[in-house]
Amino acid sequence: MNEAYTISAVSAVVLASVLIGGFGLRISRTTSDFYVASRTVGPSLNASAISGEYLSAASFLGVAGLLLVHGPDMLWYPVGYTAGYLVLLIFVAAPLRRSGAYTLPDFAEGRLESARVRRVVSMLVVGTGWLYLVPQLQGAGLTLGTLTGSPRWLGAVLVSCVVVVAVAAGGMRSITFVQAFQYWLKLTALLVPAVFVLLVWHHDGGAPPVFPADPGAAPTAAGAGQPLATSRADHPLYATYGLIVATFLGTMGLPHVVVRFYTSPDGRAARRTTVVVLALVGLFYLLPPLYGWLGRLYAPELTGAGDADSAVLLLPGRAVGGVGGDLLGALVAGGAFAAFLSTASGLTMAVAGVLSQDVLPARGVRHLRVATVPAMGVPLGGALLMSGMPVADVVGMAFAVSASAFCPLLVLGIWWRRLTPPGALAGLLLGGGLALLAVALTVAGAGPVRTGWLHTLLAWPAVWSVPVGFLAMVLVSLATPGSIPPHTSATMTRLHLPESLGARQTAAAAAGGAPQGPGARQARAGRGREPQ
């Protein structure tokens, strides 16, 4: 592949992202602009931005790589990634926006009136965000290294620097425009080469690719030494259920996705945004499986080389060839970098927001900018130290932690008025904490537990950790009825009434001297935590 084309494409994406971010910076004037874009982002723009940051390295590179190696069983990845938004639409989107919070810890404290719950949620948000950032940086190193021969650390460092500058400069208002642009760039970068590759495939006779009869039974060399690939091979049915539970239920708690719903003007706009996201994400996920499918024909050696994630990058050159293949490959490389930049920007913004509000001794836009450095620095160190695991598998582990911790908290917090702070703490620590410990042990490859059922349970924890989280919250809450927050009724009313009715209820409560719920508690749990 012509390296000059690739370098030019990546440089163009970085430059375009910086220029669009600069436009957002020009109109970002207030603290609310910086944190939640003043809650004025309409459904179309917000849906494009959510899709841009959600479609990460796992979506752009990992899905095709897993399908290439393991066969059609891996189609559960794009199905789960998309269906997770349906669950979010039904249970969470509108009430979460009506909560008036700025972050997931804000929601937890406002609903349960507990600073301890807020601290635990903050730690889990940071842990999930860091875990999700690692594969984005790994994917950037893989892309630049595969196409230019540069050391793999260079791509990770480049993405880290661009993201820190973009987030620190313009905040949410700025990255909203950048991520919306990057969604359409990613879609174009996969769609255009796919059309040409399909034309070549049809010209070559249209022979179908051959996949192993039982892809889960015997891992290829690409899976050798990769913990989740080994677990999938040992117990493929359990691994499939673990993937389904994690992706279906984990989307609603991803920190960079959740914070986006706070930028919607109201609950109705949040629901509309989610519907548009379903359409945009579903459209995108038609393409990566196609690359994995055709990769079996034009790049079969990748199934045993340990670099299956590079199939998307190499397929245009292998199938089309010549200058046309080089140009299409450069377009894919630009789209891949857009994927890394958009997801990393959203995650960095979410993690830095939590660090600036709950870890740093002072709050404010200046401290959020300072927090972007550790928010990106820690996962950069992890990406440089850890290698060899498919990016989609690492992202799947982040989904498992999110599903185990935040799905029970959001579903029960929004729909069950008897949830108590001790119950929430028990569920967060037992469900989310154990899931985080399990995936950390899996990534580290700690101890002799590298095969068999115990390793599989650690690599795919959502099957058991999500029920543990729900049961712990329910049982401990039922055992501590005296700990139900005093303003629960007002809080639940605010979450479920349309904004206009909720405002009337709050005003009536204020006139009568009654507790006003989260609307009155924003000084502690939301707007009042907005740094000045």
Q: Which domains does the chain have, with CATH numbers?
A: 3-529 (1.20.1730.10)
pLDDT at 519: 39
pLDDT at 446: 53
pLDDT at 527: 38
Cα–Cα–Cα angle for 306, 308, 309, rounded to 5 degrees: 115
pLDDT at 471: 97
pLDDT at 228: 59
Question: Contact at 8 Å (CB) between 21 and 174?
Answer: yes
Question: Contact at 8 Å (CB) between 342 and 139?
Answer: no
Question: Contact at 8 Å (CB) between 48 and 42?
Answer: no
pLDDT at 102: 72
Residues of the chain with pLDDT under 70: 1, 23-38, 170-171, 211-233, 304-306, 361-364, 387-390, 445-451, 499-532
Q: How far from 463 is each of 457, 476, 506, CA to CA, in Å?
A: 8, 21, 41
pLDDT at 220: 36
Q: How many residues does the chain have?
A: 532
Cα–Cα–Cα angle for 57, 11, 2, rounded to 5 degrees: 85
pTM of the full predicted structure? 0.82
Which amino acid, one-letter code, is at 36? V
Distance CA 74, CA 67 (A): 5
Q: How far apart are the first and last CA of the chain?
A: 51
Phi-psi region of 71 (alpha: psi -120 to 50; beta: other; left: phi over 0): left
pLDDT at 515: 41
pLDDT at 520: 37
pLDDT at 413: 95
pLDDT at 205: 83
pLDDT at 97: 81
Distance CA 400, CA 245 (A): 8
pLDDT at 30: 59
